[in-house]
Amino acid sequence: MALERTFSIIKPDAVRRNLIGKIIAKFEENGLRPIAIKKIHMTREQAEGFYAVHKERPFFGELVEQMIASPVVVQVLEGENAILKNREIMGATNPANAEPGTIRKEFALSVGENSVHGSDAPETAAQEIKYFFSDDELVG
Ligand code: ADP
């Protein structure tokens, strides 16, 4: 198995409900170590650029509004098979379909306000890490 890095966001709905610690605990308990972490309030431009792949989708406007409503925590997580493992720990996009014990099953409010983002492939992980972090912020 390969040591990988993936990108994670603890979204506004979870930060507002004081779930940062509980969510990071899930990552650490499952072998994903934060090697970079910061709290930011995304600008509209940042959020629109980050989710540009979804700009034609009907939920794009609502998604951007939710992501800029209040601060988020952005992280780089490192571990064996980190990209897939993070997706498993997060659970399905819609919390109604998420497995028991996953972050989204336990904490998400709705398909939109679903508490976390995680990269879905090596290419997007690399792009998303670069979007928010410089190389010298990654402390492996
Ligand atoms: P994931 O975050 O699981 O990779 P997607 O890439 O499909 O999911 O969607 C990105 C984000 O857009 C989701 O996490 C969610 O916040 C929002 N979203 C996706 N589908 C919907 C929907 N049908 N209604 C509202 N928001 C949605």
Per DSSP, the three-state class of 128 is: helix
Sequence-ordered list of residues with C-beta below 8 angstroms from that of 129, at least 6 positions apart, any chain:
5, 6, 7, 76, 138
pLDDT at 2: 83
ipTM: 0.98
Domain residue limits, the chain: 3-137
Per residue in 98-114, pLDDT (tens digit) is: 999 999 999 999 999 99
The response to whether residue 92 sits with its C-beta less than 6 Å from ligand 1 reads: no
Q: What is the average pLDDT across 114-127?
A: 98
Measured CA to CA, the distance from residue 85 to residue 120 in angstroms comes to 10
Q: Whose CA is nearest to atom 11 of ligand 1?
A: 112
Element (H, E) at 23: helix 20-29
Top mutation candidate among 53, 88, 93 for ligand 1, by most atoms within 8 Å of CB: 93
Measured in Å, residue 42 CA sits from the centre of ligand 1 at 18
Q: Considering only residues 92 and 1, tell me which one the structure prediction assigns the higher pLDDT.
A: 92
Quote the mean pLDDT of the chain.
98
Tell me: pLDDT of 1 over 80.
no
Q: Annotation-wise, does 104 bind a ligand?
A: yes
Q: Is the pTM of this model over 0.80?
A: yes
Q: What is the average pLDDT across 14-31?
A: 98
Superfamily of domain 3-137 in the CATH hierarchy: Nucleoside diphosphate kinase-like domain (3.30.70.141)
